[in-house]
Amino acid sequence: MSVSAAIMAGGKSRRMGQDKAWIELDGQPLIRRVADVLAQVADEVIIVANDPRYAALGLRVVPDRFPEGGALGGIATGVSAATFDRVLVAACDMPFLSVEVWRVLLDHRYDGDVVIPKLGNDLETLHALYTKTCIAPMERALAAGKMRVISFFDEVRVRTIDEAELRVADATLRSFTNVNTPEELAAALLLP
């Protein structure tokens, strides 16, 4: 099985006040932590970003084809640019990603065009698997001005992974923590 991974690093980090991808945790930038975990489960890791600094990480950097398209535009860019049909997508601000949780998603890789964790009523769109089948529906949604990641889900097969199954791999669901503000970063550091 060959799988790609795409890290979304195109956000403006307004709420953080600085580029959150480069914030260090335990001496490592958040984006490096994300890349290192994804490299354990994917054959290729790429970064979707318009900032040339990301090339310093030694990974392929793909410019966001839809810079005004929000997360959906970044995901569409990453899935399009990926070498392989199945693409793990993660945000650059998720410092506690888990190889085991990604393996749960990969266990269901043939069950849908989107394989996505569902925590409570929330779908974790920036911690999911997408296939190239999603590209055209994503692009249609973006062309219609629909920016919500889920706006194309009715055109593809979606397989949700519930909390109970995810907790087998990550009992506290810590791997879904993301940090958008200094307060969230401080709180994340206190997590077990």
- Catalogue all structural domains in the chain, each as residue range(s) with its CATH number: 3-186 (3.90.550.10)
Confidence of residue 183 (pLDDT cuts 50, 70, 90): confident
Q: In the chain, what percentage of residues exceed pLDDT 90?
A: 76
Tell me the pTM: 0.92
Q: Give the pLDDT confidence of 13-23 residue by residue, as tens digits.
A: 454 445 678 77
User: In this predicted structure, what is the pLDDT of residue 23?
Assistant: 79
DSSP 28-93: EEHHHHHHHHHHTT-SEEEEE-S-GGGGGGTSEEE--S-TTSHHHHHHHHHHHH-SSSEEEEEETT
Task: Return the half-sphere exposure (C-beta side, CA atoms, 13 A cut-off) of residue 28.
Answer: 15
Q: Give the pLDDT confidence of 89-116 residue by residue, as tens digits.
A: 999 999 899 999 999 999 999 999 999 9
